Amino acid sequence: MATSPAASSATAAAVVAGGSTATTITETIAGSYVFRIDGFSGTKDLGVGKSIKSSTFRVGGHAWYIDCYPCGELEEDNAGWVTLYLYLDHPGPNDKVEAECSFTVMGSAGDPFQETTEKHVFKSGDTSAGLSIERKELESLLRDDDCFQLRCVVCIFKEFPAVPPPDLHRHLGDLLASRVGGDVTFEVGGELFTAHRYILSARSSVFTAELFDPSKEAATAARIRIDDMEPKVFRALLHFIYADSVNVVEDDDDKVMLHQHLLVAADRYNLERLKLICEEMLCNCIDASMAATTLLLASKHGCQRLKKACSTFLTDLLASVQEPDQQSCHRAPLTGKRQRS
């Protein structure tokens, strides 16, 4: 009796779990091994509880082997059955390997007789997975060449932390809130805001000119006063500069007005993305109470999409108002001439 391993191979593939918000990456490592026993009919003399052990093979950085009991492992449970087990070789006390194991019973020509697949967690004290096949059935299948082969495929699943999404905006937002390293203070409506010149400059060409042009007073001033802006608008402006998002927590009535003022501020400081965000929000909130003022705002600050949306809304509104008025102005034709007195 002899055992001869087939060449084992391993491939690796990475699968991201959870799409764009993935927190882990599952890596699947697969390897195969063929355990062969020639002259299988002669193994019946081994008796129950005697096994033939394969050579070890490696998959996923772990050593494995197959144990075959040609006459069964235990007299009372599986005598007359061929039982095969896949073992994790010498697992450590903290080893825990999750794997999917596929077993295929074959003849010498490689034709499959029986296939089975199971998932198993290999760890210390629980190291095996396998299959059983009735010996008489197996001998009838192998009567031509008396060669038994078992192909075993081991797929190991390993989880690793995925690369997290960018969080620079969160760190910069924390920096703004902490005021650490701030080198310029703005006074807006009686409130003080501490910021960082280089961050403001990196985000706005207008701030670059104001804060770093030697001819400008703001270039050397420690405190800069802004008179024509409300504190909550400037706060939202700074939040966008640092965190690249609009953080508006006002109620619905103030929300529209705040976005109107924020659009003006975005245009003033050449923050095109913020300007477009405000424009889109206002396009979705047009009503009779603010359409006219928003149209003037859009015309003044070059917001063509918002201008068109307001014009369309006002045109439709005017048409809906005129239709019943026009109907009420129609009079019945005169049927006779007026008599002179």
Tell me if 116 sits within 8 A of 131, measured CB to CB: yes
> Is 90 a member of any domain?
yes
> In terms of domains, do 291 and 172 share one?
yes
> In terms of domains, do 156 and 199 share one?
no
Specify the number of domains making up the chain: 2
Q: Distance (Å, rounded) from C-alpha 20 to C-alpha 289?
A: 41
> Is 336 a member of any domain?
no
Burial class (CB in 10 A: 0-12, 13-18, 19+), 212: middle
> Is 340 a member of any domain?
no
At residue 43, the pLDDT reads: 87
Q: Which residue has the higher pLDDT, 260 or 147?
A: 260
> In terms of domains, do 149 and 182 share one?
no
> In terms of domains, do 198 and 223 share one?
yes
At residue 5, the pLDDT reads: 35
Q: Distance (Å, rounded) from C-alpha 297 to C-alpha 205?
A: 23
At residue 73, the pLDDT reads: 81
Residue 7 has pLDDT above 60, yes or no: no
Residue 146 has pLDDT above 50, yes or no: yes
Percentage of residues of the chain with pLDDT beyond 70 = 83
Of residues 61, 130, 51, 117, the one with CA closest to residue 89 = 61
Q: Which of 161, 178, 207 corresponds to the end of one domain?
A: 161
> In terms of domains, do 185 and 297 share one?
yes
Residue 97 has pLDDT above 70, yes or no: yes
> In terms of domains, do 200 and 124 share one?
no
> In terms of domains, do 197 and 156 share one?
no
> Is 305 a member of any domain?
yes
What value does the mean pLDDT take over residues 270-280?
96
Q: How confident is the model at residue 323 (pLDDT cuts 50, 70, 90)?
A: low
> In terms of domains, do 183 and 150 share one?
no
186-190-196 Cα angle (round to 5): 15
Q: Which residue has the higher pLDDT, 327 or 265?
A: 265
Mean pLDDT of the chain: 82
CATH number at residue 119: 2.60.210.10
> Is 75 a member of any domain?
yes
> Is 238 a member of any domain?
yes
| Tens-place pLDDT, residues 58-89 | 998 889 999 998 888 877 666 788 888 898 88
> Is 281 a member of any domain?
yes
> In terms of domains, do 105 and 149 share one?
yes
> In terms of domains, do 301 and 184 share one?
yes
Residue 297 has pLDDT above 50, yes or no: yes
Q: What is the DSSP letter of 56?
A: P
Phi then psi for residue 339, to 5 deg, are: -80, 140
At residue 222, the pLDDT reads: 82
- In this predicted structure, which of 2-6, 190-194, 257-261, 308-312 has the lowest mean pLDDT? 2-6
Domain extent, residue 38, equals: 10-17+25-161
Q: Is 52 left (phi over 0), alpha (psi -120 to 50) or beta?
A: beta
Structure tokens at 123: 């760890």
Q: How confident is the model at residue 125 (pLDDT cuts 50, 70, 90)?
A: low
Q: What is the DSSP letter of 280?
A: H
The answer for residues whose C-beta is within 8 angstroms of residue 49's C-beta and 6 or more apart is 69, 71, 72, 73, 74, 75
Residue 252 has pLDDT above 60, yes or no: no
At residue 250, the pLDDT reads: 55
At residue 253, the pLDDT reads: 61
Beta strand pairing call for 184-188 and 223-226: parallel
Q: Distance (Å, rounded) from C-alpha 171 to C-alpha 181?
A: 14
Residue 131 in 3-state DSSP?
strand
Q: Which of 129, 161, 193 corresponds to the end of one domain?
A: 161
Q: Which of 136, 161, 186 corresponds to the end of one domain?
A: 161
> In terms of domains, do 147 and 222 share one?
no
- In this predicted structure, which of 83-92, 119-128, 151-160, 292-301 has the lowest mean pLDDT? 119-128
CATH number at residue 290: 3.30.710.10
> In terms of domains, do 235 and 142 share one?
no
Residue 10 has pLDDT above 70, yes or no: no
Residue 234 has pLDDT above 80, yes or no: yes
What value does the mean pLDDT take over residues 218-223?
79
> Is 341 a member of any domain?
no
